[in-house]
Chains A and B, each alone.
Chain A
Amino acid sequence: MVLEFKLPDVGEGVAEGEIRRWFVKIGDQVSENQPLVEVMTDKVTVEIPSPKSGTVLDILAKEGQVVKVGTTIIIIGEKGEHTTLRSQPEPKSIEASSITPPVSAPARAASVLATPATRRLARELGIDIAQVRGTGDDGRVTEEDVRRHSSATTAATTPTASPVKGVEERVPLRGVRRRMAESMAMSLRTTAQFTLIDEVDVSKLVATRETLKPLAEKNGVKITYLPFVIKAVVKALKEYPYLNASLDDAKQEIVLKKDYNIGVAVDTGEGLVVPVIRDADKKSLFDLARNVEDLAQKARSSRLELDDIKGGTFSITSLGALGGLLATPIIHYPEVAILGVHRIDKKPVVRDGQIVVRDIAHISLSFDHRIIDGATAGRFTSRIKEMLEEPNQLIPELV
């Protein structure tokens, strides 16, 4: 029996996925549950196992292609069985045609069955026409196919490969970076953001962390400042419920979240992901530390699962040592606020009329002004500052 295996719904609400890597090729024997393909959806990468044993008869989605859930991506059957679907236009009928002998090899676009106007359209849209699946007779790529491909991929590939050195390099927008591009643009398009900045005297926090370090180690965790910040944020959110919220535009309702799921921005080297610490309000300082470490690890090795990144209610981006005095963080839409934490420096400050050296950090908070007014934002920021300056209130349940 031939099975036309369709891209499954790998998590609620996921409509499409990008084919990252095929583990099998046409003609391979596969057994049930053997991983077939790595698919990247909304920021997570999943391996999709084979639903049955058999031979790979055809592969219909190319690496890098974005496919909708429910599209057939692979055909598995028995050797010699036939499929009704075909992956590629017969390359034979068109390849190598054709220029009189001494001419250099024909252009790649020329080997695709498509009219000159369609080929030009593809170049105009920045698409490599060789990547477009033709729906026409014989796999002909039609104008419509090109347009469809273009809207399905925001990715832009080099229109024409140049064997000779050009003036720029073009990197396809793929994977984590593509998601980042989409979500950041979405956030700025949708919300009305403003940023508040404050200076925090974290001398006590620095000392507290130093004291807790040995104990943390004994408990098998490395304690950073982030768990303290999460604690402070959760406490402040409980006092200011409009900040742990989202806006339901369609219904014109503000949704106040009762969960405190804190997103933590992690740089993966390929772009930004925001895994979520679930129920942060119910976790101890060391639990939070452990959780943060875990998620960061998973993010860097692209092992995050969909559950790890869904359902955030507020996010923190900790630029810390990465540099910069201040930033204006972009809200992780549909959340309504984000906190940026910057590096700690020793600075001269005035205390009781004296100049003293203290540990100073900056925090920056961006808010969605559609919901949060300036006064609330100010109060919320002050509250966080206060807690970070007096960290004792953050550590009642340590372990």
Chain B
Amino acid sequence: MVRRVDVVVIGAGPGGYVSAIRLGQLGKKTVLVEKQKLGGVCLNHGCIPSKALISAGRLARKIKDGGEIGLETTGLKIDFTKTQAWKSRVVNRLISGIKLLCERNGVDVVYGEANVEAGKMVKVKNSGATEELQADSIVVATGSRPIELRSFPFDGKLILDSTSVLDLSEVPGRLLVIGGGITGLEIGGMYQDLGAQLTVVELMDQVLPGFDPEVADVVYKSFLKRGAKIYLKADALGFETSTSGVKARLRSADVEVAEEFDKVLVAVGRKPNTSGLGLENIGVELDQRGFIKVDEQMRTTANGIYAIGDVAGPPFLAHKASREGIVAAEVICDLPSAMDNRAMPSAVFTDPEVATVGLTEEEAKRTLGGCVAERFPFQASGRALTQRESNGFVKMVADAQRKRILGVHIVGPDASDLISEAALAIEMGASAEDLALTVHPHPTLPEALMEAAEAIIGAPIHTLKRE
């Protein structure tokens, strides 16, 4: 029996489930197909579980570091199984929330693996049974998965990907992270906080490649200060299993070393989940890197087929996936929607945190031929000092003539929360003056944004003017 529906959404990550809910709200008969769990990578193996564990790690370190302000503790015991159980409760609570939202918005969730055939026919296989769905439109939201290194194939025990590393039942003693990007540093940092000895190998000459080098440098130094070993311009060549774990061969600046680790996390990037979907049979074109080609309205090259989220290309961010999901839903309903955002914020939950939106200073110089950039250090922030988190700064980039805000890069306490004000400023086309003239309550961290803006217009109060 073929079931006729308006829209089939494939994949229930933050792209797919948000799109399905919006479609439901707009009155479309929508089926959401998921082969694993509602919430996708974000809820089950990404944003949420990693942030839960990161919070636990941070708290543990804060407790241990309390001595300086007179809060001595001895014998902090970490029961990681309990930590994991708490993490799962958080995840499950959010999943049941999504389930309820789907129900209430008339979205029908079907579990199984989807395959698309010509004529917008979607076949969903679930343990032998197949359900056939005939749709007017299809939204592909199948996400992405970790890239595997041939020299370090995942085994789920010693060589881990970002999924299995979040499900360990105990904190590894010695952890090697291959890839000093967002995922590697977030998870590596978390285990470091919980007691692991951390080693990071990064191919490029800075951690967090692609981020403002000054910002990355602050993160790099804090990792070192807490005892991590970070090899830059380095590579992991291979490994042998040993009695206690693995012996990995690392090469840095033409020197080869072999070091022992209990676990290895390979976090060198992600690739799109496009294979096995049948996209090649229905005229959906991929770009050179294998992502589905889409336009500003999330249309693929095949009529009536849309793609959103990780599978439609980087940046791999849950909020980007969700926004695209809403756009696709609205376009399907003939509403005038498009991805026309001026900026896409992103956050890294290391300690200190990093958050950025808009152009970096270097990009602004390259694309616009010039800009002004000013920094406000958290050292000068009353609130940061009272939180004992004064490492880092806010860097603001504005155009040279009118001082419109082009980018904001924050490394420091609660950067992930601070960035939204900057994103709003950029979306609104605000100038540094607009931000400087907006009163910010004292003492708070967002004052740092105001101060950076004041520096741009040449009137900083709490820093000295550069000569």
Seen from chain A, the residues whose Cβ lies within 8 Å of a Cβ on chain B are 90, 92-104, 106-111, 113-116, 119-120, 123-124, 126, 138, 140, 159-167
Q: B288 in the interface, Cβ–Cβ < 8 Å?
A: no
> What CA separation (Å) do A52 and B427 show in the bound complex?
44
> What CA separation (Å) do A161 and B339 show in the bound complex?
12
Q: Do A98 and B343 touch across chains, with their CB atoms under 8 A apart?
A: yes
Q: Do B429 and A107 touch across chains, with their CB atoms under 8 A apart?
A: no
Complex: chain A residue closest to B429, CB-CB = A113
Q: Do B429 and A123 touch across chains, with their CB atoms under 8 A apart?
A: no
Complex: chain B residue closest to A107, CB-CB = B340
Residues from chain B with a CB closer than 8 A to the CB of A167 are 303-304
Q: B338 in the interface, Cβ–Cβ < 8 Å?
A: yes
Residues from chain B with a CB closer than 8 A to the CB of A166 are 295, 299
The interface bits of chain B over 308-319 (1 if a CB of A lies within 8 angstroms of the residue's CB, else 0) are: 000001110000
Residues from chain B with a CB closer than 8 A to the CB of A115 are 427-429
Q: Do A99 and B344 touch across chains, with their CB atoms under 8 A apart?
A: yes
Residues from chain A with a CB closer than 8 A to the CB of B295 are 160, 162-164, 166
> What CA separation (Å) do A19 and B196 show in the bound complex?
70
Complex: chain B residue closest to A167, CB-CB = B303
Partner of A100 from B338, B346, B368 at Cβ < 8 Å: B346
> What CA separation (Å) do A100 and B313 show in the bound complex?
13
Residues from chain B with a CB closer than 8 A to the CB of A111 are 342
Stretch at the interface among B124-132, B160-168, B356-364: B356-364
Interface centre among A94, A114, A138 (most CB of B within 10 A): A94
Do A97 and B342 form a contact, CB below 8 Å, given A164-B294, A164-B300? yes
> What CA separation (Å) do A322 and B315 show in the bound complex?
57
Residues from chain B with a CB closer than 8 A to the CB of A107 are 296, 338-341
> What CA separation (Å) do A337 and B406 show in the bound complex?
62
Partner of A119 from B340, B368, B406, B407 at Cβ < 8 Å: B340
Residues from chain B with a CB closer than 8 A to the CB of A106 are 341-342
> What CA separation (Å) do A148 and B227 show in the bound complex?
62
Complex: chain B residue closest to A99, CB-CB = B344
> What CA separation (Å) do A302 and B114 show in the bound complex?
57
How many Å from the CB of B329 to the closest CB on chain A?
15
Q: Do B210 and A100 touch across chains, with their CB atoms under 8 A apart?
A: yes
Q: B74 in the interface, Cβ–Cβ < 8 Å?
A: no
Q: B301 in the interface, Cβ–Cβ < 8 Å?
A: yes
**Top 5 A-B residue pairs of the complex, sorted by shortest distance between their CB atoms:** A123-B336, A109-B340, A107-B340, A98-B358, A98-B359
Q: Do A116 and B427 touch across chains, with their CB atoms under 8 A apart?
A: yes
Residues from chain A with a CB closer than 8 A to the CB of B407 are 97-98
Q: B297 in the interface, Cβ–Cβ < 8 Å?
A: yes
How many Å from the CB of B421 to the closest CB on chain A?
15
- 18 A-B pairs, CB-CB below 8 angstroms? A90-B401, A90-B402, A94-B429, A96-B359, A97-B407, A98-B426, A99-B341, A101-B210, A101-B363, A102-B313, A104-B313, A107-B341, A113-B404, A115-B428, A124-B336, A162-B296, A163-B295, A167-B303
> What CA separation (Å) do A114 and B315 show in the bound complex?
24
Q: B337 in the interface, Cβ–Cβ < 8 Å?
A: yes
Complex: chain A residue closest to B428, CB-CB = A115
Residues from chain B with a CB closer than 8 A to the CB of A163 are 295-296
Q: Do B340 and A165 touch across chains, with their CB atoms under 8 A apart?
A: no
> What CA separation (Å) do A90 and B369 show in the bound complex?
14
Q: Do B299 and A100 touch across chains, with their CB atoms under 8 A apart?
A: no
Complex: chain A residue closest to B368, CB-CB = A92
Q: Do B427 and A100 touch across chains, with their CB atoms under 8 A apart?
A: no
How many Å from the CB of A120 to the closest CB on chain B?
7
| Dominant secondary structure of chain B at its interface with chain A | loop
Q: Which positions 191-218 of chain B face chain A at CB distance < 8 Å?
A: 210
Complex: chain A residue closest to B285, CB-CB = A164
Q: Do A160 and B297 touch across chains, with their CB atoms under 8 A apart?
A: yes
How many Å from the CB of B389 to the closest CB on chain A?
25
> What CA separation (Å) do A292 and B340 show in the bound complex?
52
Residues from chain A with a CB closer than 8 A to the CB of B406 are 97-98
Seen from chain B, the residues whose Cβ lies within 8 Å of a Cβ on chain A are 210, 293-297, 299-301, 303-304, 313-315, 336-344, 346, 356-359, 363, 367-369, 399, 401-402, 404, 406-407, 426-429
Q: Do B342 and A98 touch across chains, with their CB atoms under 8 A apart?
A: yes
Known: A96-B367, A99-B344. 14 other contacts (CB 8 A): A93-B401, A94-B399, A101-B210, A106-B341, A109-B338, A109-B340, A140-B429, A159-B336, A160-B295, A160-B338, A161-B296, A164-B294, A164-B299, A167-B303
> What CA separation (Å) do A114 and B429 show in the bound complex?
6
Residues from chain A with a CB closer than 8 A to the CB of B356 are 100
Residues from chain B with a CB closer than 8 A to the CB of A162 are 295-297, 299
Q: Do B344 and A103 touch across chains, with their CB atoms under 8 A apart?
A: yes
> What CA separation (Å) do A116 and B323 show in the bound complex?
13
> What CA separation (Å) do A96 and B299 show in the bound complex?
22
Q: Do B402 and A97 touch across chains, with their CB atoms under 8 A apart?
A: no
Q: Do B344 and A100 touch across chains, with their CB atoms under 8 A apart?
A: yes
> What CA separation (Å) do A98 and B299 show in the bound complex?
22
Interface centre among A98, A120, A140 (most CB of B within 10 A): A98
Complex: chain A residue closest to B304, CB-CB = A167
Do A92 and B426 form a contact, CB below 8 Å, given A97-B342, A99-B343? no
Complex: chain A residue closest to B302, CB-CB = A165
Residues from chain A with a CB closer than 8 A to the CB of B426 are 97-98
Complex: chain A residue closest to B316, CB-CB = A102
Q: Do A93 and B358 touch across chains, with their CB atoms under 8 A apart?
A: no
Residues from chain B with a CB closer than 8 A to the CB of A116 are 340-341, 427-428
> What CA separation (Å) do A165 and B285 show in the bound complex?
11
> What CA separation (Å) do A102 and B317 show in the bound complex?
12
> What CA separation (Å) do A163 and B299 show in the bound complex?
9
How many Å from the CB of B205 to the closest CB on chain A?
16
How many Å from the CB of A335 to the closest CB on chain B?
39
Residues from chain B with a CB closer than 8 A to the CB of A123 are 336-338, 340
How many Å from the CB of A295 to the closest CB on chain B?
42
Q: Do A160 and B368 touch across chains, with their CB atoms under 8 A apart?
A: no
Residues from chain A with a CB closer than 8 A to the CB of B313 are 102-104
Complex: chain A residue closest to B370, CB-CB = A92
Complex: chain B residue closest to A122, CB-CB = B336
Do A97 and B343 form a contact, CB below 8 Å, given A92-B368, A102-B314, A164-B300? yes
Residues from chain B with a CB closer than 8 A to the CB of A113 are 404, 429
Residues from chain A with a CB closer than 8 A to the CB of B297 are 160, 162
Residues from chain B with a CB closer than 8 A to the CB of A109 are 338, 340
How many Å from the CB of B432 to the closest CB on chain A?
12
Residues from chain B with a CB closer than 8 A to the CB of A161 are 296
> What CA separation (Å) do A90 and B368 show in the bound complex?
12
How many Å from the CB of A113 to the closest CB on chain B?
5
Partner of B341 from A95, A96, A110 at Cβ < 8 Å: A110
Q: Do B301 and A165 touch across chains, with their CB atoms under 8 A apart?
A: yes
> What CA separation (Å) do A120 and B335 show in the bound complex?
10
> What CA separation (Å) do A164 and B298 show in the bound complex?
9
Complex: chain A residue closest to B345, CB-CB = A100
Q: Do B299 and A97 touch across chains, with their CB atoms under 8 A apart?
A: no
